[in-house]
Structure 1
């Protein structure tokens, strides 16, 4: 009989312990840049957050907070007229960035590496991760005056 009481108490303690772990994990997964020097983090197939709002002249810092390699690549037709194209690796357009990735993983942002870009033109900027585009890893920066 004492054995059943012990096992029941042990099960309750383990459940309480795991409940605390799951909430801690979900908090980290939701905001990987909390307490970090970045604005947008990444998991395996998502930018976190996937929509980020700023003002003209602000700089956004992305940080690869996952174990996978990623890129940050603007869509050529997804940035406002007159805005600068942006991509990890410093490429001047989407085609060059794709070609570099396919050839030698050009523009690769490794784990814990950062990339930053300053937005000077108001509007919506759409971007994606080349190796995870099929998994719909994309994001938007909304820049207002």
Structure 2
């Protein structure tokens, strides 16, 4: 009996030990499982923090590179613009210089052409004046030779040299002896003789009072304008053999 009781007690004690050991192992296993999760969570948080820090560092590096690239691009763009502006200014300066040179050349040519044209015009005018003078001299010479002139607005008549003493100068006393002018024309008488003469309107030494020069001394002259058409006879009161006439048409 005692032996069985002791055996039962021993078995109970053994079972109690086994149960206690099993319970302790279960408790320890639970503790170990909790610690592993916390460790995993902590590692995950640390990994995330490390990844976030790396991502921020990468972004900062990328932003810094982008800013550096932009600064470099802006600097290059400014340099290119400055170079383009400088070239444009140089091209404009060259174009302006060429334009000024071309204008100066054109102005010089224009001045030379004008000078040449003016010189030619002056030469042509001188030639024309010379011809006109020659023609007039020829006409005057012919008129003096014939004692008549053609119709004009201005005519010059000379009191011939020696006419004051040459009683037979006839139609050579006043040269030309007969002149023709247009209405409103003027006749100028020049005394080239050494004696004084007159130009007195009238016929047969009788004055009609239309015009009278009075005494015209040697070297002087007298003008008269004829406003009406007609034939005007005149003579010298001092030397009555000196006779001539003016025809106004």
State the TM-score, normalizing by the size of structure 1: 0.54
Partner SS, residue 85 of structure 1: strand
Q: Which has the higher contact order (CA 8 A, sep 6+)?
A: 1
Change (3 A) 1:78 1:129: closer
Q: Is the 8 A contact 1:78 1:125 kept in 2?
A: no
1:47 maps to 174
Q: How does 1:93-108 map to 2 (within 5 A)?
A: 107-108=214-215
Tell me the alpha carbon deviations over residues 62-100 of structure 1, each in whole angstroms, 9 at most, x when there is no partner.
100111110000017787xxxx71101xxxxxxxxxxxx
State the TM-score, normalizing by the size of structure 2: 0.32
Tell me the alpha carbon deviations over residues 2-54 of structure 1, each in whole angstroms, 9 at most, x when there is no partner.
xxxxxxxxxxxxxxxxxxxxxxxxx7xx48xxxxx960001232111110000
Determine whether 1:85 maps to 2:210: yes
Change (3 A) 1:38 1:63: farther
Q: Which runs of 4+ in 1 moved over 6 A?
A: 76-79
Structure 1: state its 5+ residue gaps: 1-26, 32-36, 89-106
Equivalent residue in structure 1 for 2:194, among 67, 85, 93: 67
Structure whose CA Rg is larger: 2
Tell me the alpha carbon deviations over residues 91-122 of structure 1, each in whole angstroms, 9 at most, x when there is no partner.
xxxxxxxxxxxxxxxx2101110100000110
More helix by share: 2
Q: How big is the shift at 1:131?
A: 1.2
**How many pairs are equivalent?**
87
| Aligned counterparts of 2:156 and 2:196: Cα–Cα separation in 1 | 18
Change (3 A) 1:38 1:52: closer
RMSD: 2.5
Structure 2: state its 5+ residue gaps: 1-140, 146-153, 164-172
1:120 maps to 227
